[in-house]
Structure 1
C-alpha cells in the first residue's frame, strides 16, 4: 500500500495543469492560483482517499474551493461597501453598552461571542479555534449569549447583532 506522500507525488503532477486551466476559465488569475493551492492542499490531506482516476474528484474539490473563495470575496465587498458608506472623518461605530456588557463577562465567554458575532463562525468552527468539542462550543455559546443579553438589559441597551447567514448553519 502506498503512503500518502507516494500517492500524492504520483498524482499531483497530472492534476496541477488541468486544474490551473479549469480555474483560469472561471476566475481571475490571482484567485485561480490561490484556489489551486487550496485544492492541492486538500488533495495532499486526502491523498489516501483519492480515487483511481483523481482528476474529476479534484475538479469537484476545486469547484468547492472556488465557491468558498467567492463567498469570502462577497463578504469582503459588503464590508468595504459599509466602510465606504461612512463619512471619511467618521470613527467606526462604537457601542459603549456592548463593550461594557462584554467587559463584565468572563474572558472565555467574551471570546466565544466575538468569534460568533464578529468573525461569524459557527459553533463547529468556534470549537476548532478553541480546541473544544462542537457540542461544548454550542452549549457555551448559548449560555454566553444569554448572559450578554441579561447584562445588556440591565444597562438598558438592546441585545442583538447583525450577521450574514450566507453559507452558514448554526
Structure 2
C-alpha cells in the first residue's frame, strides 16, 4: 500500500466524518421516501472516484452531487408531484418554532404558496446553513445570482405572509392529518 493510497483513504474518511450527516439530512428533508443512506453513499462514491475534482470546501460540491442523484431517482420513478406535496407539508411543519400561533400559521400558509425553486433557495440557507457562494455552487450558479434569487424568495415569502389572514382559527376547526 502506498502513502498516496493511505492519504486518499484518510481524506475520504475525513470527508465522510465531516459531511455525511449533512448530506443525509439534505436528502431526508427533500425526499423522505427515497433511501437517504443509499444516496449519501452514492454521493461519497462519486467523491472518491472524482476526488481530484472535489474542492477544499466540499459540502456544496457534495450537496450538488446528491441533488443530481435525487433528480435522477425522481425522474426514474416519476415522483415529482409526490415530492412537492411532501416538501410543502414537512417544510410547513418544521419551518417555525416561535410561540406565536398566528405567525406560525401565516408562515405555514405562505410556505405552501412558494414554488419549489424558491423553497430550495431558502432551505439551502436556513436549513443547510450555506453561504450564498456555497448555495450557488449547489445550484450551479454564482453566489451573486444566488443572492438575487434568495432576495426574491424572501420577498415572496414575506408578501405571502402579509396577505395571510390575521385571525387564528378555533382549534376545533383545525383538521389534523
- Alignment TM-score, normalising by the size of structure 1: 0.40
- Alignment TM-score, normalising by the size of structure 2: 0.38
- The higher radius of gyration belongs to 1
Flag the structure with more relative contact order, 1 or 2, with Cα contacts below 8 A and sequence separation at least 6.
Answer: 2
